[in-house]
Amino acid sequence: MLGRVMARLLLFGGKGGVGKTTTSAATAVWLADSGLRVLIVSSDPAHSTSDSLGVDIGTEPTPIEGVEGLYGLEMDPESKISNLLPKLGKMVDGMNSKGGMGVSEV
């Protein structure tokens, strides 16, 4: 029997032009280089995560060439938000039941 897989959700937010895309891409590469499987998801209409990672990222998980274990996905927030919110709600409810949400250093 496989052991339980623990998923973590890191969110990068803030006003425009403060480096969210650069920071999230660098963090994703670092985590993947550390041996974790990582999916970086961008809802930015500019799709600049593709530019940051140097790979054309589509609407399905796309392997990032040169970084084992790293996948990227660009989503259209307008069309996907109705499908995503219930899933995120369950995930956040699960985190809250385990002692609340918090921030930890990477």
Q: What is the chain's length?
A: 106
Q: Does any domain span residue 72?
A: yes
Residue 14 falls within a domain, yes or no?
A: no
In sequence order, the β-bridge partners of residue 70 are 38
Give the per-residue pLDDT at 60: 87
pLDDT, residue 43, reads 85
Does the residue 59 lie in any domain?
yes
Domain that holds residue 52: 21-97
Q: Is residue 49 part of a domain?
A: yes
What pairing do the DSSP bridges indicate for beta strands 70-74 and 62-63? antiparallel
CA distances in angstroms from 8 to 39, 79, 106, listed in the order given: 10, 24, 11
Task: Examine residue 41 and state whether it is found in any structural domain, yes or no.
Answer: yes
61 domain residue, yes or no: yes
Looking only at the bridges linking them, the beta strands covering 62-63 and 38-42 are unpaired
Q: Which residue ranges in the chain fall short of pLDDT 50?
A: 1, 99-106
| Number of structural domains found in the chain | 1
Whether 104 is in a domain gets the answer no
What's residue 81's pLDDT? 64
CA distance to 3, 44, 49, 68, per residue, from 65 (Å)? 28, 21, 14, 8
What pLDDT shows up at residue 20? 93
